[in-house]
Structure 1
Amino acid sequence: MSSDVVIFVCTSCKREGDAPDAPRAGAALGEAVAVAGPHRVQFVKCLSNCSRGPSAALVRPGGWSYVFGKLEVEGSPEALHEGAALLGASEDGTMPWNSRPDILKRQMIARIPPFDFTPAESAP
């Protein structure tokens, strides 16, 4: 169910080359994501993806989590909500690759298995 997906947005992220005292690009991204769609948005101070900010993560209980970087206020908020809907509707707890917005294909940093993950196949 998509209402279980949370979009975490790092509010302390800067863009590469931003002056130390410049407004935080992550805070602007967070504001834009909060008004762009129906999913719960949670602001966090750091996702530890500083060299590739602004960053956000999609998290679903019992499903995979996804971390994205180098996001922009233009286009990324809608893509994050679309990704949250895909993740929430997924039966296997993953976000289908082919259905994702291009931003969520190009800007993915990591995909993290759920806490109770057990592989379908044994490792080599």
Structure 2
Amino acid sequence: MDITATSPSPDSNQKNDSRDGVVVFVCRNCRSEDDPNADPRPGSLLSTVAIEKAGQAGIQVRSVNCLANCKRGLSASIRSADGWSYIFGGLTLEDADDLITGAQLLADAQDGLMPWRGRPDSLKRGMIARIPPFDFTEEKS
């Protein structure tokens, strides 16, 4: 697999939609506990499937070398340029659609937070962390 593989990005002449700024990063280096020497690695397979499904949904997916979440792989993150970003672990090869759904939920969120309602189970039980936007300031009560 091409290590720089990404899903097709929207044509720059197209109208920007709410999906702009949301990117799914999938760790292609994640190994299987059952077969750590498997080739291709399960992370690479998850990345390939997610990239294939992303184009239909208007979501960008990028394959990355490592997300440093090895103890809880397969791993992925969903980053939002204007909202919160999320890191997930314990994913399976069957969770590619869930990553796309999560990215769509985040892209559509008015408050920049991925809603709990409607979030696939793999993204509920596998959430490692959520990271605030760069310009975030806590409201004081």
Q: TM-score under structure 2 normalisation?
A: 0.80
The residue number in structure 2 matching 1:13 is: 30
Secondary structure of the 2:93 match is: coil
Number of equivalenced pairs = 120
1:47 aligned to which of 62, 67, 71: 67
1:95 aligned to which of 101, 114, 130: 114
Quick one: which amino acid aligns to residue 46 of structure 1?
A: C
Cα offset, 1:35, TM superposition? 1.1
The residue number in structure 2 matching 1:57 is: 77
1:83 aligned to which of 97, 102, 109: 102
Deviations 1:11-64 (A, max 9, x none): 001122423x31211000001101123211111100000011110000010210
User: Does the alignment pair 1:34 with 2:54?
Assistant: no
The residue number in structure 2 matching 1:118 is: 137
Counterparts of 1:101 and 1:121, CA distance in 2 = 32
Contact 1:16 1:51 in 2 (8 A): no
The root-mean-square deviation of aligned C-alpha atoms, in Å, is 1.2
Q: What stretches of structure 1 of length at least 5 have no aligned partner?
A: none
Q: TM-score under structure 1 normalisation?
A: 0.90
Secondary structure of the 1:54 match is: coil
The residue number in structure 1 matching 2:3 is: none
Q: What stretches of structure 2 of length at least 5 have no aligned partner?
A: 1-17
Are residues 121 and 18 of structure 1, via their aligned partners in 2, closer, same or farther at CA, if it must alter by over 3 Å?
farther
Cα offset, 1:107, TM superposition? 0.8
